[in-house]
Amino acid sequence: MTDVPVRPLPPPSAAPSPSTPQTLAEATRCLNSWIEVDLDAMRDNVAALQRAVGPGVELIAVVKANAYGLGVEGLALPLEAAGVARFAVVSMPEALALRALGVTRPIVVLGHCFPADAAAAVAAGITVACHSLAVGEALSEAAVAQGRTAQVHIHIDSGLHREGVTADEAVALAPKLRGLPGIEVHGMSTHMANADEPDDSYSLHQRAEFERVVAALPWVPYRHAANSATALRRPELRYEGVRLGLSLHGVLPENTPDPGLRPVLSLKARLARVSALAEGDGVSYGLTWRAPRPSLVALVPVGYADGWRRALGNRGEVLVQGRRCPIVGRVMMDQFVVDVTGLPEPPREGDECVLIGGQGGGRITADEVAAKAETIPWDILASLQPRTPRLFHRGGLVVPPPAPE
């Protein structure tokens, strides 16, 4: 292997200061890999989704799992400013982190809560999906002690057989919760098992189950049953609010109409090394790819520890100079190799490479990466790791996330 001559590294960029916003090009000059989060696209997606579901339906931003890997620290307040009415997360720590970021809108914890979570939930004004009388009693006690009201939602397991209570249990539980001092039973929810399947028979079955509870508890004012696919496909399941995760980021479930969304996420890297290989030279662990001819290959400093799946070895592609280049050999923990033979210009160390996103006329979507890795786009996004720097940007300028309180 002989190294191709490299371009000298650029001088270190000036220390970023809040008074001098940096362009993306400036901010990424000395980054090996990074995630770009386009806040303009996110704001436009919120507007497009609100138009699609209609003005009377609230958007509930589902920002569990670090806002699907994009970085909740930089997305929460812009989502609030863009007009989402509520937030949903899965756990109490996620809810408290949102409050620490300065989120003031209502936050629902969809997942399991313990009675021991009650005091913190009440103090931070968190709505708990209450699955038991024990949690309701703890919330009531905390609400009375703190002189506040604890808002609860009841999640109905209408057929996913995940969290929640059955329809019959909900009908029995709701009046008991209502009778506890300091408790407001504000909402009820359910979640579809086959939201993006062309066959809607199971969704109709789940709807009928949910409607049984709706009919029995007409005094509960707020209902939510739809994720992205359901919200965009089934107007009858929009109720008062829709819980949107994937679509906020401009990625759509299968079989779902596009209301004109734009991709929010890009994953990019700078080539770490460009090498010439002789015919027959092997690449990466196991030497599963051998150069079929004298080749030029480039090292991309992103690996499976960054969420870039090992399954993409010898299968995936990335963009260099706006053109698709195949991944050759296995994806390693921190790097993989691409074949850049035959690009119009030999690439150089430091050149930008796009793993998800657009470059020149080319584009690689999260859907495509998911299909090649034999998984779903939710999994590709949620696998992004904290070690990758995030650059939240608006109008081409980097917006630093707020420091937590």
- For ligand PLP, give the closer residue by CB, 261 or 297: 261
- For ligand PLP, give the closer residue by CB, 77 or 225: 225
Report in angstroms how near the CB of residue 164 gets to ligand PLP at its nearest: 9
270, 253 in Cβ contact below 8 A?
A: no
Rounded-to-integer distance, Cα 124 and Cα 122, Å: 5
The site that binds ligand PLP (CB under 6 A) totals a number of residues, namely: 13
- For ligand PLP, give the closer residue by CB, 321 or 375: 375
Q: Does 246 bind ligand PLP (CB under 6 A)?
A: yes
- For ligand PLP, give the closer residue by CB, 108 or 283: 108
> Which residues 287-326 are close enough to bind ligand PLP by CB under 6 A?
none
Report in angstroms how near the CB of residue 131 gets to ligand PLP at its nearest: 13
- For ligand PLP, give the closer residue by CB, 27 or 67: 67
* Residue with the two structure tokens 């001098």: 20
Report in angstroms how near the CB of residue 68 gets to ligand PLP at its nearest: 7
**Residue of the chain from 69, 106, 245, 347 that contacts ligand PLP (CB under 6 A):** 245
Q: Which amino acid, 276?
A: A
Beta strand 150-155 with 183-189 is parallel
Rounded-to-integer distance, Cα 317 and Cα 323, Å: 9
- For ligand PLP, give the closer residue by CB, 62 or 320: 62
Catalogue the E-assigned strands of 271-351.
273-277, 282-283, 289-290, 295-300, 317-320, 323-328, 336-339
Q: Is 314 left (phi over 0), alpha (psi -120 to 50) or beta?
A: left
**Residue of the chain from 227, 335, 365, 388 that contacts ligand PLP (CB under 6 A):** 227
Report in angstroms how near the CB of residue 60 gets to ligand PLP at its nearest: 8
**Residue of the chain from 228, 284, 359, 365 that contacts ligand PLP (CB under 6 A):** 228
Active site residue 176: no
Report in angstroms how near the CB of residue 381 gets to ligand PLP at its nearest: 9
What are the backbone angles phi and psi of residue 328, rounded to the nearest 5°? -120, 135
Q: Which of 239, 268, 285, 304 is catalytic?
A: 285
Report in angstroms how near the CB of residue 261 gets to ligand PLP at its nearest: 12
Total residue length of the chain: 405
3-state secondary structure of 77: helix
Q: Does 269 bind ligand PLP (CB under 6 A)?
A: no
Q: Does 50 bind ligand PLP (CB under 6 A)?
A: no
> Which residues 118-147 are close enough to bind ligand PLP by CB under 6 A?
none
Q: Return the half-sphere exposure (C-beta side, CA atoms, 13 A cut-off) of residue 301.
A: 17
Tell me which residue of 212, 249, 198 sits closest to 381, measured CA to CA.
Answer: 249
Active site residue 268: no
Tell me which residue of 227, 240, 153 sits closest to 192, measured CA to CA.
Answer: 227
Binding mask 176-215 for ligand PLP (x = CB under 6 A): ---------------x------------------------
300, 317 in Cβ contact below 8 A?
A: no
- Determine the interface stretch with ligand PLP among 98-106, 115-123, 226-234, 384-392 (rule: CB under 6 A): 226-234
Q: What is the largest CA-CA distance in the chain?
A: 78
What are the backbone angles phi and psi of residue 221, rounded to the nearest 5°? -80, -20
- For ligand PLP, give the closer residue by CB, 99 or 243: 243
What are the backbone angles phi and psi of residue 121, rounded to the nearest 5°? -65, -45
> Which residues 72-111 are close enough to bind ligand PLP by CB under 6 A?
110
Tokens for 317? 């592609």
Tell me which residue of 68, 21, 73, 34 sits closest to 266, measured CA to CA.
Answer: 34
* Residues of the shown chain interacting with ligand PLP in the complex, contacts defined by CB under 6 A: 62, 64, 110, 191, 227-229, 243-247, 253
Give the catalytic positions in this structure.
64, 285
